Structure 1
Amino acid sequence: MVDLSRGTTNAASLLPKEISQEIWADAQESSAVMQLATPIRVPGSGLTIPIITGDASADWVAETAAKPVSRATLDKKVMTPYKLALIETFSDEFRRDLPGVYEELRRRLPGAIAKKFDSTVFGTTAPGSGFDTLGAATAVPIGPHATDVKKNTYSGLVKAYTDIAAASGTLDGWALSSQAKGLLLGQVDSTGRPLLFNDIQAGSPVGSLLGEPVYYTQGVYAAGSPATIGFAGDWASTYYGTVEGIKVDISNQASIVDGTTSVTVGGGGTGTVTVPNVINLWQQNMFAVLVEVEIGFVARDVNRFRKITNATIS
C-alpha cells in the first residue's frame, strides 16, 4: 500500500477512535487460540521465554546421611512476532451511513484476523522461525466404529486425554470446528440417548468435554480424508504475544494494489501482459481501512497436543 496521507482528517472522522480496541476485543473472542493460550506482550524484536523442563526432586535420607542435591532443568523458547494484515475497501456512499460502515468493519475484520491466526497455529506452515505451529501433533480419530460399541466417540476423546497425560501434559481445553460439534451432537448411547444430553438441554451445545472448556473456530478445520476437526492440548504451556495490539489506519488519498489484471498489448491486440491492478481511492471515490497486528505464538511441546480427526476409530 502506497499511503500518501495515512489517517487523514476526512477519512479518520468516519470511525470512532475506539474501533481498534473493539476490533481487537472481537478478534480475541473469535479466536480459539487467543482464548486458550496465555497472552503476553512481546517487543518487536521478539522475546526469549524460559521453560522449566524438569523440577528438582527430593529423596529420603537416613539419619546423619548426606542430603541429596538436585537441580531443576531449564530450556528456552524464542517467540518472534510477525505481521498479520488486511485492507478492506469501501465506496464513499458508506459515508452517508456511519453506523453501516462501523458495523460492517466490526463484523468482518475481527473474524478475518482470528481465522487466519488460528489456521496458522493449527497448520504446519509458520510465517517464520520463532513461531510454533501445532499441525504436526499426533492425530486421534473420534469417528465411532460401525459395529464395535466400545470404539465410540467418547473413547476417542478419552484417548486424546490419556495421550496428553502420557506426554506430561494436562488437557485443559479443546478447540473445535463446527464440523466437530455436529459429529459430537450426533452421538448416542445404547438406548439412543444423546451422549451430550445435558449440554443440549442447557441450550449451549458442547460447552465442555471431559470437564474442560470448548472453544469453536473454523480456523481449526482442514478438509481431507480424514478431515481435521479439532485440537486438544495443554494450553497452559502455550503463549501468544502481540507488540501493541491491533492497529487501524484509514485513508482516502492512497493508491493500493489489489491483485493483478491482464492488459492487451501489441499491434492489433495480439498479446497480453499481467500488470498490478491499482486502485486510486481518491479518483474512484473510495476509502480503505488497513488493519494489522504483530503477533507470535509458542508452545512448550507439540507432544502435549492431539489433532482430532473425523476418521473412524479402528
Structure 2
Amino acid sequence: MPNIARNTSGVSLPLSVSDEIWGNTQEASAVMRLARKINLPGSGVTVPMVTGDAQADWVAETNEKPVSDATVSNKSITPYKLAVIETFSNEFKRDIPGLYEELARRLPNALALKFDQTVFHATTAPGSNFDLLKNAPALTVDGTGTYADLVAIDAAIANAGGVLDGWVFSPKGKAVLLNASDSTNRPLFLSNLQAEGGINQVLGSPLVVARSAYKADAAGDDGEVIGFAGDWTSAVYGTVNGIEVSMSDQATVNKAGTQLNLWQRNMFALRVEVEIGFAVKNINHFVKITSGVNTVA
C-alpha cells in the first residue's frame, strides 16, 4: 500500500487563517477623557481668562465702599496636525478581510496614543501655544506612605489655586495603589475586588489607567514617571474637524525613502489625521507623579 499521508514528502496543505485576531489592547486618549473639549478653528483661538475676582469687604456705616477690580488675561491655543498612513495590498484586503478590518479600525487610535505621549512626556511641543504636562512639578509616590504621598499631591495642587479632580496612572502606578494597605494590611483603595472590579477613584476623584502615562527614567528627567494628577477643569483640548480618514489607490506614497505608486502595485493606503491643540490655565495645577526610581547616573 502506498504511504500517502499529510506528512508525506511533497504534500503541502494550505494554512487556514483563524477568525481570531490577537493584538495589544488599545486605549482612547486619557487626556481627552479628563480635559474639557472646546471648539478650535484652524487658525487657533485666544481664550479669555479671569485670573482674579473683585474682593468685597466689610464697611462701617457712612464709610466709603471698597473699589476692587477683577484681573483678566488670555491664553492662545494653536492646533497642529497629527497623521499616519498605512499601506495595504489589494490581495491582503481580499484574502484576510478580518485582519484588514481590525488594522483599519485600530489606526485612528494611533493618533490618540501619540497625542497623550506628547502631552505627558514630550520635551518639545509640536509648536507654540501647545502645553506639555512634562513641565508640571514632580512629586513621588514610591509605595511607602502611599496615602500621605497622594494627599501631598492634592495639597500641592490646592496650594497653587487648583482643585484636584482627576488622576491618570500607568499600570505600574496602579500596582502601587493596589499594594497600599492600612495598619491591618487591608487594601487602602479597594474594599471588595469582586464587587468593585478595580480602583475607579483615588481620594474621591476619578482614576484613568493608561499605558501612555508611563515613561522610563532618562537623563535630565525627574525619574520614572508613573502618572499625573491635576485640575482638569483648567485643561482644554480641541480639534478642528475631528479625525479624518481618507483612502487612495492612485497616490504615490513615500515610505521610508521608497516611492510606492499604489495603482502600479495593486495597493491602496489609508490616511488618518487630526488637527488638535492642548492648553492648561496653570501648569502648577498639575503634578507629574514619579516612582522614586532613578536609574540614570
TM alignment of 1:1-314, pairs within 5 A: 30-92=28-90, 93-96=92-95, 98=97, 100-106=99-105, 108-123=106-121, 124-145=123-144, 152-198=145-191, 200-224=193-217, 226-259=223-256, 276-311=257-292
Paired residue secondary structure (1:307) = strand
TM-score (norm 1): 0.79
Q: Structure 2: how far apart are the matches of 1:94 and 1:73?
A: 59
Q: Percent identity?
A: 52
Deviation for aligned residue 1:179: 1.3
Q: For 1:182, give the aligned amino acid.
A: A
- Contact 1:30 1:110 (C-alpha < 8 Å) held by counterparts: no
- The worse-fitting range, judged by mean Cα deviation, of 277-286 and 72-81 is 277-286
Q: Structure 1: how far apart are the matches of 2:161 and 2:273?
A: 36
Paired residue secondary structure (1:197) = coil
Deviations 1:63-97 (A, max 9, x none): 11111111110011000000000011222121355
Deviations 1:189-218 (A, max 9, x none): 232222222363334311110010111222
Q: Structure 1: how far apart are the matches of 2:51 and 2:259?
A: 52
Q: Structure 1: how far apart are the matches of 2:211 and 2:102?
A: 21
Q: For 2:261, give the aligned amino acid.
A: N
- The worse-fitting range, judged by mean Cα deviation, of 218-227 and 159-168 is 218-227
Q: For 1:298, give the aligned amino acid.
A: A
Question: Paired residue for 2:21?
Answer: none
- The worse-fitting range, judged by mean Cα deviation, of 276-285 and 208-217 is 276-285
Deviation for aligned residue 1:109: 1.7
Stretches of structure 1 lacking an aligned partner (at least 5 in a row): 1-26, 146-151, 260-275
Q: Structure 1: how far apart are the matches of 2:108 and 2:249?
A: 22
Q: Structure 2: how far apart are the matches of 1:182 and 1:286?
A: 45
Q: For 2:129, give the aligned amino acid.
A: G
Q: For 2:263, give the aligned amino acid.
A: W
Q: For 1:303, give the aligned amino acid.
A: N
Deviation for aligned residue 1:102: 2.8
Deviation for aligned residue 1:98: 4.8
Question: Paired residue for 2:9?
Answer: none
- Contact 2:169 2:208 (C-alpha < 8 Å) held by counterparts: yes
- The worse-fitting range, judged by mean Cα deviation, of 217-226 and 161-170 is 217-226
How many residues are aligned here? 262
Q: For 1:103, give the aligned amino acid.
A: E
Deviation for aligned residue 1:237: 0.5
Q: Structure 2: how far apart are the matches of 1:177 and 1:289?
A: 30
> Alpha carbons of 1:144 and 1:32: their partners in 2 closer, same or farther (altered >3 Å)?
same
Larger strand proportion, structure 1 or 2? Answer: 1
Paired residue secondary structure (2:73) = strand
TM-score (norm 2): 0.83
C-alpha RMSD of the superposition: 1.8
Paired residue secondary structure (1:33) = helix
> Alpha carbons of 1:190 and 1:119: their partners in 2 closer, same or farther (altered >3 Å)?
same
- Contact 1:41 1:244 (C-alpha < 8 Å) held by counterparts: no
Q: Structure 2: how far apart are the matches of 1:221 and 1:284?
A: 40
Q: Structure 1: how far apart are the matches of 2:97 and 2:196?
A: 35
> Alpha carbons of 1:199 and 1:306: their partners in 2 closer, same or farther (altered >3 Å)?
farther
- Contact 1:80 1:129 (C-alpha < 8 Å) held by counterparts: yes
Paired residue secondary structure (2:181) = coil
- Contact 2:170 2:211 (C-alpha < 8 Å) held by counterparts: yes
